[in-house]
């Protein structure tokens, strides 16, 4: 079975959207493992900015969109932000739906799914690591969880310990891993057809809750990569400092 990594990227409109997606396109272009990029816009319809970018990107891609429902009142908005505050959740879910609609238990064997936010930075070798995922695999992510790198420490592909900021472990984050620090085999989607991201999950628990749908204890996770060499970083692109009269509407669209 030829390996293929399905890279799921939620994205939304802002000044740095284009350059973030371009950077990710370049990282994916260098992958020696075959990748299929599933880009899901947080919008009612796919936009020309993203479709133009994808048509210029040499990576095979799928372009979807779904708008995150916005909370109606200020109180609801604040409450949700404090308790949950998930970003990109509906977008990841329709990508999972797309995979279930387009593949089956019969042709899932070579596939692995990975959630790659648009503002992280990726060493292209991470996609080779991801492709080896048998069921569910984890590795450290640079600058995640308020430390230099967060995630498992591996010895012979098994987990020896977890690096995580103690306070956050105390908040019952059972699997201290960033969204960019794990992958799941595509066949798992067909073995567990009910699996999605749930908006009701608490703040900071998306990764733990998602992974616990596939494994019953975290020692089952395949430990990949090395704490000596991080291959993916949770960085955020700084907002450019712009003259205040220069609004997003005036930005060159495509």
In terms of residues, how long is the chain?
254
Is 118 marked as binding a ligand?
yes
Q: Please list every residue from 35 through 64 that binds ligand UDP, using CB under 6 A.
A: 42
Taking the CB of residue 200, how many other CB atoms lie within 10 A of it?
A: 8
Take residue 78 and report the two structure tokens written for it. 């604040």
Which residues in 171-190 contact ligand UDP (CB under 6 A)? none
What residues contact 140, with CB distance under 8 A and at least 6 apart?
Answer: 149, 150, 151, 152, 153, 163, 181, 225, 226, 227, 230
The residues in 89-128 that bind ligand UDP, with binding defined as CB under 6 A, are 91, 117-119
**Measuring CA to CA, how many Å separate 202 from each of 33, 48, 160, 199, 216?**
34, 34, 27, 8, 19
Please tell me whether residue 178 binds Mn ion under the rule CB under 5 A. Answer: no
Structure tokens at 243: 């003259």
SS3 category, 120: coil
SS3 (DSSP) at 81 = helix
Quick note: the x/- pattern for Mn ion over 102-141, rule CB under 5 A, is: ---------------x-x----------------------
Question: Catalytic site residue 207?
Answer: yes
Out of Mn ion, ligand UDP, none, what residue 11 binds, judged by CB under 5 to 8 A for its kind, is ligand UDP
Q: Which of 87, 100, 121, 168 binds ligand UDP (CB under 6 A)?
A: 87
Identify whether the C-beta of residue 91 lies closer than 8 Å to the C-beta of residue 72. no
Q: Closest approach of Cβ 222 to Mn ion, in Å?
A: 24
| CB nearer ligand UDP, residue 121 or residue 174 | 121
Q: Which helix (H) or strand (E) holds 207?
A: helix 206-211
Nearer to ligand UDP, 118 or 150 (CB): 118
For residue 126, what is the enclosing H or E element? helix 126-131
Residues 124/17, Cβ–Cβ less than 8 Å: no
Among the listed residues 41, 90, 150, 207, the single catalytic one is 207
Contacted by 155, from Mn ion, ligand UDP, none: CB < 5 to 8 Å by type = none
CB closer to ligand UDP, 117 vs 222: 117
Residue of this chain nearest to Mn ion (CB atom): 119
**Residue 91 binds which one of Mn ion, ligand UDP, none, with CB within 5 to 8 A depending on kind?**
ligand UDP
d(CA 218, CA 27): 29
58 is in an annotated binding site: no
Site residues, ligand UDP (CB under 6 A): 9-12, 42, 68, 87-88, 91, 117-119, 236
Catalytic residue numbers read: 207
């Amino acid at each position: 079975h030829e390996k293929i990594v399905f890279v799921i990227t939620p994205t939304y409109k802002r000044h740095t959207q284009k350059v973030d997606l371009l950077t990710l396109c370049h990282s994916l272009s260098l992958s020696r493992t075959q990748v299929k990029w599933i880009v899901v816009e947080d919008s009612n319809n796919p936009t020309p900015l993203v479709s133009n970018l994808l048509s210029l990107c040499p990576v095979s891609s799928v372009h979807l969109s779904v708008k995150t429902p916005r909370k109606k009142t200020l109180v609801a908005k604040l409450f949700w932000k404090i308790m949950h505050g998930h970003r990109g959740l509906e977008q990841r879910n329709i990508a999972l739906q797309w995979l279930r609609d387009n593949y089956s238990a019969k042709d899932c064997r070579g596939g692995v799914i990975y959630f790659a936010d648009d503002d992280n930075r990726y060493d292209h070798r991470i996609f080779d690591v991801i492709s080896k995922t048998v069921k569910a695999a984890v590795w450290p992510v640079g600058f995640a969880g308020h430390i230099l790198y967060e995630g498992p420490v591996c010895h012979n592909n098994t987990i020896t310990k977890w690096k995580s900021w103690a306070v956050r472990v105390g908040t019952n984050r059972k699997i201290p891993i960033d969204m960019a620090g794990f992958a799941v085999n595509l066949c798992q989607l067909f073995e567990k057809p009910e699996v999605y991201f749930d908006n009701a999950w608490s703040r900071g628990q998306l990764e733990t809750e998602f992974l616990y749908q596939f494994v019953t204890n975290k020692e089952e996770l395949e430990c990949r990569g090395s704490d000596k060499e991080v291959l993916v970083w949770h960085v955020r692109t700084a907002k450019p400092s712009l003259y205040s009269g220069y609004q997003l509407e005036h930005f060159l669209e495509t």
